[in-house]
Amino acid sequence: MRILYQLLVVLFMMLQGAAGQPFIPRPLEPCILQSGRCFPGICRRPYYWIGTCENGYSCCRRYVEV
């Protein structure tokens, strides 16, 4: 049964390659990995700036009160 799953994975990778799509997905947006959101311009309340997104927008995270 395990061999069947491996063959399905290989078939899936071959089909993606034939369609011209990369079979290795791009890494996730670093802003999303930091629990942030991309906004055009500056971050406004209740968000604060934590970096820059790949598209040039501001990466903002919501304030969390403890």
Coil, helix or strand at residue 55? coil
pTM of the model: 0.54
Q: One digit per residue, pLDDT tens: the chain, 66 residues?
A: 778 888 888 887 777 665 665 656 666 678 888 889 999 999 999 999 999 998 899 999 999 877
Domains and CATH numbers, the chain: 3-18+27-62 (3.10.360.10)
Count Cα neighbours of 1 within 13 Å in the Cβ-side half-sphere: 0
What per-residue confidence (pLDDT) applies to 52?
A: 92
